[in-house]
Chain A
């Protein structure tokens, strides 16, 4: 199953992803902000393969399941350790935990993004296509 990947050049800071996410879940799980007036970047859960949030979750509420990090709200104690443990700051906590779960497979942010800055893809497919594109550029410049 794919995860959300960002093409940073494409983000225009419109925040449609944030709006769509909030409409879907009541509280956004993706956060867009500008860096001065140079670029805009969304931040969201990366479903890390060795996620620190899952490592600190002692009830198994956040746990690794295949390629994803899954959340079971019934097991959550609201201790807030995951909020501290995420290196991206992608988990927020008030009366519940707010974290991206890919909307069960069709993330609304990806559907909504007008510039396709957010894609749902397998990382090997992304690196594979970047690599072959770069190889094509290099090949074009080779003097045989």
Chain B
């Protein structure tokens, strides 16, 4: 299953992802028209000054998600196949138990509808809006195994070069 993976070292803190998320979830789906709707983002770029880094924080659709476990009404459910955690606004009672147990603090509050608001992995899109919008590819959409494999390539190469050099 594809996941949204974050490479914070590439994040420049532009927040294009946040804007794209909000626009994608607006009625008008257009940036200028969306301004009057005041749609809400579902991911948050956090600045960490100690490390001079910006870290995009988004729903990890955790395996055996705690938010799903504690939801008293079943508004939060986890798809058995894809692992995506879905939030049903019609069932939600705005109790915020999910928000209080979320380890990443990425469940927000829709103040007008008085229900929770969280990442839905953009079910109507091929690639989630935040990933498409990211100019530095700090957010990538891919299978975990493929991304890990790609990451292994560079250090493996270095290792091999080191071994080759030392055996001469």
Q: Do chains A and B touch in the complex (CB under 8 A)?
A: yes
- Which residues does A use to contact B, with CB under 8 Å? 3, 5-6, 8, 46, 48-52, 87-88, 123-124, 126-136, 138-140, 142-144
Residues of B close to A49: CB separation below 8 A: 93-96, 114-115
Instruction: List the 4 shortest-distance A-B pairs measured between CB atoms, nearest first.
Output: A49-B94, A131-B105, A130-B105, A135-B46
Task: Tell me the bound Cα distance from A90 to B94 in angstroms.
Answer: 15
Do residues B57 and A134 form an inter-chain contact, with CB atoms below 8 A? yes
Do residues A132 and B46 form an inter-chain contact, with CB atoms below 8 A? yes
Residue of A nearest to B53 (CB): A139
Do residues A135 and B57 form an inter-chain contact, with CB atoms below 8 A? yes
Residues of A close to B101: CB separation below 8 A: 8
Do residues B48 and A139 form an inter-chain contact, with CB atoms below 8 A? yes
Task: Tell me the bound Cα distance from A46 to B112 in angstroms.
Answer: 18
Query: When the two chains form the complex, which single residue of A127, A139, A144 contacts B106, counting CB atoms closer than 8 Å?
Result: A127
Task: Tell me the bound Cα distance from A5 to B107 in angstroms.
Answer: 15
| Residue B159 CB within 8 A of the other chain | no
Residues of A close to B94: CB separation below 8 A: 48-51
- Which residues does B use to contact A, with CB under 8 Å? 6, 8-9, 44, 46, 48, 50-51, 53, 55, 57, 72-73, 92-97, 99-109, 114-115
Number of A-B contacts (CB under 8 A): 92
Query: When the two chains form the complex, which single residue of A87, A88, A123, A132 contacts B100, counting CB atoms closer than 8 Å?
Result: A123
Residues of B close to A8: CB separation below 8 A: 101
Do residues A143 and B105 form an inter-chain contact, with CB atoms below 8 A? no
Task: Tell me the bound Cα distance from A3 to B103 in angstroms.
Answer: 19
Do residues B96 and A46 form an inter-chain contact, with CB atoms below 8 A? yes
Do residues B105 and A134 form an inter-chain contact, with CB atoms below 8 A? yes
Task: Tell me the bound Cα distance from A50 to B95 in angstroms.
Answer: 8
Task: Tell me the bound Cα distance from A123 to B23 in angstroms.
Answer: 24
Residues of A close to B102: CB separation below 8 A: 127, 130
Residues of B close to A124: CB separation below 8 A: 108-109
Q: A123 with B109: in contact, given A49-B94, A50-B114 (CB under 8 Å)? A: yes
Residues of B close to A88: CB separation below 8 A: 72, 95
Residues of B close to A52: CB separation below 8 A: 93
Do residues A46 and B97 form an inter-chain contact, with CB atoms below 8 A? yes
Task: Tell me the bound Cα distance from A6 to B100 in angstroms.
Answer: 8
Residues of B close to A5: CB separation below 8 A: 96, 100
